[in-house]
Structure 1
Amino acid sequence: MDLAHILHMNGGDVEETSYAKNSLIQQKVISGAKSSRDKAITNLYCSLYPRRFAVADLGCSSGPNTLLVISEIIKVVEKLCIELNHESPEYDVSLNDLSGNDFNGIFKSLDTFKEKLSNELENKMGPCYFSGVPGSFYGRIFPNESLHLVHSSYSIHWLSKVPNGVNNNKGNIYIANTSPSNVFKAYYEQFRIDFSLFLKCRAKELVEGGCMILTFIGRESDDPLSNGVCYLWELLATALNDMVNQGIIEEETLNTFNLPNYYPSPTEVKLEVLTEGSFVIDQLEILEANKNASVDIDFEMSRLQHIRAGIEPLLTSHFGENVIEDIFNRYKKILSDRISKKRTSTTNLTITLTRKP
């Protein structure tokens, strides 16, 4: 599976299954991380006072959330400029995602974005330059010491590839209760390789004292199955297994499909940061969505659309376009039945890091 060419959110801004129309969950996660983000931006600006403020959003996707964080970053800096009687800096904003991302949709919205942001600010902001930077963030994508701030939301839990050695994960599409022990180890090892490489690359691209703010799906405990997303993947696997039993999908086709995700624990994240050695951990925050809420069927059904917007291209590439509607119709039925009996919650981690000298 060539993820660099296959993996992307559903494009467009009007289609019912597009990411743009099904990204409310990500928006809530972005809002939940606001206090940590604002604190990190304030500390960064007040330590470096950059005249050219270079920001990169990694895994930017497309839709209403793409420019939301950029807007909030600029607002924090502009407020500080007023308080400190500083001239507004120039903003150099780089939007990164894989080449299949709907960059055209982003570019079409830039004029409206700039006008709206300018109207919301108390003072006249400095010029704001945008560029799209296609490519995997599990590799170098920017020149040495060219960035002050790196932000990424809901992207780091995507691996660079499906782990090696998971061919015996039969009937499953991710880590599950019935997965052999080697599958657990393979997923963790791939996370370690990818996250360490991510840190090494960003350490080269950030200036000394530069900052990273990363938010991604994780888990609170050391149990790899403790995040509710794992249960949602098990339900999708149930739908696919039903289709195998009915002869709609070949068993071998299902057995060769595994998702390129990993949801790390805080311990695992800290260990890789300390082992790689380029960054200081400023803060690691755990946010759990719906932890104390009762079952919300409408929310869970919206999560189905969110899931579809994110993984439909992967499923289409592997199983074929002709079965996609069948897969999601079955998944919706199973999800509606099971979720009314069992509430799920999603653990999100937000970590802020500063590049060492």
Structure 2
Amino acid sequence: MVPPDLPRRGAGAEAAEPRRVGGFPDAAPRRLRVRARRDDRRRRGLPSPDHRRRPARRLPRPARSRRDPSRPRRGERARRARRRHAAPPGRRAPALMPLGAVTLDAAGTLFEVAEPVGTTYARLAARHGITLAPAEVERGFRTALAAAPPLAFPGGSPARLADHERAWWYAVVRRTFGAAGTSSHFDACFTELFEFYGRAAAWRVFPDVPEALRALRARGPRVGVVSNFDTRLVGLLDQLGLAPLVDRIVHSTRAGVAKPDPAIFHLALEALGVPPAEALHAGNEIVADVEGARAAGLRAVLVDREGRLLTLPPGVQRVRTLAELVARLES
């Protein structure tokens, strides 16, 4: 038997032709067959069987531009600024120049409330049958205080100063109470609150203050208090043991002008006998204390006891305590 896939000898055998691949017979050399297969696949749009073995063609690398040496590298400006403003090793900030007088704010700088205002208001109001939420009172008090006119009465009669002060605080507290301010018991509650904040029990002296005041006076400069407060301040400083540690007390209601008006700083410096260029003021508010003192020609330092401010105006120095202020003056 003859396999069916082979041509038979005899008639018709000559019709059988060798199998062709890519136009070449099987007997063609291998290189021709490979080339034929490659050309055939190319015509049909198929990839060459040996495409994976071909090295990838690399694109020319773009020419690198040379950095201008006169221009700082990225982030270099910020690094230079940090180095320029950094304190020398072992010191937190540059020392301050010798001074003839140091004036200080009162509330928030020398002392603070013994408990939150909202807590005190709610507790005392409850005695008079008025129900208040401490958190709401706290927010309401800050809003009322911000909306109130300056705590100063220019042109007012000195004999009626206490009446003006009481009326000013009456309006602030009534706005703080909101709807509860219309209660028939409000007047009695207000009287108790007003008297309470005139006693030492309502306040707490910061621990560093007494020693810092003694150190300031021992160093030489005269020490004064400049505050947006009423006539109760003088008695409070005496009850808190701070009055003997300062030379002058100037509050806004007696001065007839309030911070940040430069006039109140000038009044204090006249009493201390020191020109503005030789004085420094420290307080816990940017506008009232720092900007006001600068406008009056004094140097100013912010007392940020809790470190709440993340950024400061240009040139403003900050301390966390009065003890730190004294250390800066002595360095």
When normalised by structure 2's length, the TM-score is 0.30
In terms of fraction of residues, the more strand-rich structure is 1
Q: TM-score scaled by structure 1?
A: 0.29
Give the structure with higher Rg (CA).
Answer: 2
Structure with the greater relative contact order (CA < 8 A, sep ≥ 6): 1 or 2? 1
